[in-house]
Amino acid sequence: MDGRAKRIIVCCDGTACSSYKRHGGLSLTNVSRISRSIKAVADNGTPQMVFYQPGIGTAAANPLNILNQGIGSGIDEKIMEAYSFICHNYSGEDDKIILIGFSRGAFTVRCIADFIHKAGLLTKVGLFYLTQLYDLWVGGKLGTDNVPEAFRTGVLGDPTQVRPSIRINACAVWDTVCSLGVPQLGFSGPRLPSRFSFVLSDLCEGIENAFQALSLHERRLAFLPYVWKPRETNHCSLQQCWFMGYHADIGGGNKDECLAHFALAWMISKLDPFVEFNKEYFWMPTASDTSWKLSAAPTVDTFDPPFMVGLQIPDSMNLFYWLWGSIHRKPRRQFWTHVGFEQFYPPVNNISKEFMHSTVRLLTFLGALDTCPSLKGGKPERRGNQWIWNLRLRPKSPFWAFVRAVEPAPTHETYEVVEDPMGPTERELLKQWLNSELYLLQERANENDPDPQTLIPYLLEWLDKQLAN
């Protein structure tokens, strides 16, 4: 090799998710799709090295897989494995590191970012000390007097062992959750895990660009998201966006994958400046059947309701998770801090850079899904060329869990979440996907088949209207 700068891309999948083991008609996750669509070499000759890591609880012939999936066992090995890949392939400051993850895989890459920021990258010689360095990091001892003097000077202070001050070019995640250890009953409220309690909503200062797609419908207490919130000293470029659907409707992996494509196209558009993709590969393999089916045909000319989209989206809140409690997600209000999970009254400035995706407005307009409690009583309002959601500050909640509220209380009843305008890359990706599904319908249709009553033509029409606006 000629020593050319390269991109080192780590993709960590969600719990029980694997590109290699797909049963029961489950689809690829967005992490899998992205990892398979990255060019081996960019058009300018930059190598792009991809490491794909299946999620927790996917080991072959392991009788403890289900237990590991439930308690998150094995995350230490996942972190060290991915970190080692970066160490083996990093050769200089011109190399770019990109981290991508979903669910616990998202938490994994956020841990990797924190580990790299605090410890640096071990050289191939220094990898001998990986376990010892990892234990110091997990124990919160790095940067303190608790690091043995011999290790501080002989390893951390030796440039042949450790490369310090490493930056993460981009970190892209779908719905970060931790959920480690045995779940607590709902009345005890959300708790920080005994391990990794230092990985919070605070945005790691070693990350230069951060993106997160979040689920509005998900309400399992064990799946509370780790929404980023940068410190005042953090100059990272951050963007977080809320989408309709439950956890797997954002990160992918459900048999019905229509909603996941919205979050996938959004994420691709955000990563496009940092990674070079084969964009025609994202939707392959295509679904065996279209997901967008209508229960009543809309009026083509006016594009007006009422009509309903027959989206059968499975609710993730099954009987098992009821035991552990539930809580509605609230954009711009919920964060993990050093004291635990806290619910804030949203400040005037959007410090967490949270936005609403434009498809939330579309699917609400169509009546496509049951409105999640976070949006009940709220409505989008157009101001010039911008859409803004006015959300109720205290939406009614029939679910139970104890959450610590942070005072003082506000004097207003609503707060705002701005809509993220759809860019040209995202719009073209969605049109590409919808046209591929429409072609699939037409290819499989017989002459005397009834009208499939699909929403696809109307989604394409809506995308064209976004361009016009």
Query: pLDDT tens for residues 234-246?
Result: 789 999 999 999 9
Looking at residue 343, what is its pLDDT?
85
Q: What are phi and psi of 173, to 5 degrees?
A: -140, 150
Q: What is the dihedral of CA 159, 162, 163, 167, to 10 degrees?
A: -160
Q: What is the mean pLDDT of residues 298-312?
A: 50
Looking at residue 354, what is its pLDDT?
97
Looking at residue 109, what is its pLDDT?
98
pTM score above 0.95: no
Does 398 have pLDDT greater than 80?
Answer: no
38-62: pLDDT as tens digits: 999 999 999 999 999 998 877 776 7
Instruction: Out of 11-25, 69-83, 254-268, pick the least confident.
Output: 11-25
Q: Which domains does the chain carry?
A: 7-281 (3.40.50)
Report the C-alpha gap between 262 and 280 in whole angstroms.
16
Does 359 have pLDDT greater than 60?
Answer: yes
Contact indicator for 225, 336 with CB cutoff of 8 Å:
no
